[in-house]
Structure 1
Amino acid sequence: MPKAKKNSHRKKYDYDKDRKKQKKQFMKKSRPRIEDKSIRHAWDNYKTSNKNLEDMGLAFDPNHSQPIRNPETGFAPTPAAPVVTKPYVLRKMEEEASQRFDDDKSLSRDLIDFVQHMVREHGEDYKAMARDEKNYYQDTPKQIQRKVNEYKRCHPKLFNAFIQSLAPNANPQSSSQPPVIVC
């Protein structure tokens, strides 16, 4: 039976490689990339992930963070509280979580124009929108409805202004346009 070609070669030591530099690069790659700034600054590379998070008052495993209740007694055993040596991390995270987050998501101009055209022509009739000739991507009624709802959610003031601009233009004698429902 033939041997693997790689195993038959003699092992050679490469004098040109810097082993210290290689170890540093490997250690850097093996470390976790921490996105949160406060955790990253408090992280100690010489400790385990579990110990690092425990020092910050966080849980490595959520299953072990809360004690399991005993079904017979109904009470959970009280584990010893871990010593939090870096409470400032937890305070900083709570502060960031309590700040209000404004959704700055926007839609493309093409999508806004598409939705405005569809609402202008068909009102709330999504099946008619799906049959419209401007529906280049052949979206289903449900997909168009999602796009309209996304437009309402991302730009509520713009959508309401658009609906208001349609109201005076609606002609009572013209029955070709369906009525527009204001949200």
Structure 2
Amino acid sequence: MPKAKKNSHRKKYDYDKDRKKQKKQFLKKSRPRIEDKNVRHAWDNYKTSNKNLEDMGLAFDPNHSLPIRNPQALFAQTTAAPVVTKPYVLRKLEEEASQPFDDDKSLSRDLIDFVQHMVREYREDYKAMARDEKNYYQDTPKQIQRKVNEYKRCHPKLYAAFIQSLAANANPQSSTQPSSSR
């Protein structure tokens, strides 16, 4: 059986490579990238992930952190509660989680124009909207209804103002029109 050509070559040492730099790059790549700044600041590269999270009061494996409901397993497992040496991380995470979350989802300008056109023309008649010539993507009545509801949900103030402007245009003041008498 023939040998592979690659294996028959003699290994040569490359003097141009910086082995120390290579090792640093490898270690940097192998470490986890931690998104949260509080956890990243408290992370110790010389400890395991499990130990780091345990020191912060977090759980590496939720199956071990939750209490066991089986009473027979309680006697078999007698481990002491882990000592939290970095409680400030847990406090900061709880503070961030308790902050109110603003839903900053927005819709595209094209979708907003499409919905406004459909509501202006047909109000709540989704079947007529589906037959409209501006329904380029041939959306079904249900799909158009979802788009209108999404617009209502994402931009409630704009939708309310839009509906008010439609109502104002639909019902002009009757006092401005001259009355006809016979």
Deviation at 1:77, TM superposition (A): 6.6
User: 1:69·1:75 contact (CA, 8 Å) conserved in 2?
Assistant: no
User: 2:53·2:60 contact (CA, 8 Å) conserved in 1?
Assistant: yes
Aligned to 1:175: none
Deviation at 1:2, TM superposition (A): 2.3
The 5 Å alignment of 1:38-53 reads 38-53=38-53
Which structure has the larger Rg?
2
The aligned amino acid for 2:2 is P
Give the gaps of 5 or more residues in structure 2: 172-182
Q: Which moved more, 1:158-167 or 1:82-91?
A: 158-167
What is the alpha-carbon root mean square deviation over aligned residues?
Answer: 2.3
User: 2:68·2:74 contact (CA, 8 Å) conserved in 1?
Assistant: no
SS class of match (2:133): coil
The aligned amino acid for 2:100 is R
SS class of match (2:52): helix
SS class of match (1:162): helix
The aligned amino acid for 2:145 is Q
- Count of aligned pairs: 171
The aligned amino acid for 2:113 is D
Distance 1:141 1:2, change over 3 A: farther
Deviation at 1:144, TM superposition (A): 2.1
The aligned amino acid for 2:20 is K
User: 1:67·1:77 contact (CA, 8 Å) conserved in 2?
Assistant: no
The 5 Å alignment of 1:56-135 reads 56-70=56-70, 79-135=79-135
Amino-acid identity (%):
91
Output the CA distance in 2 between the equivalents of 1:143 and 1:71.
52
Output the CA distance in 2 between the equivalents of 1:93 and 1:7.
53
User: 2:130·2:139 contact (CA, 8 Å) conserved in 1?
Assistant: yes
Output the CA distance in 1 between the equivalents of 2:73 and 2:27.
48
Distance 1:2 1:127, change over 3 A: farther
User: 1:105·1:154 contact (CA, 8 Å) conserved in 2?
Assistant: yes
Output the CA distance in 2 between the equivalents of 1:131 and 1:153.
25
User: 1:151·1:159 contact (CA, 8 Å) conserved in 2?
Assistant: yes
Deviation at 1:76, TM superposition (A): 11
Aligned to 1:6: 6
* Structure 1 residues 89-124: Cα deviation after superposition (integer angstroms, max 9, x where no partner): 000000011111112222222211111011112222
Larger helix percent: 2
Distance 1:159 1:76, change over 3 A: farther
* Structure 1 residues 46-84: Cα deviation after superposition (integer angstroms, max 9, x where no partner): 111111000000000111111221266999977421100
The aligned amino acid for 1:108 is S
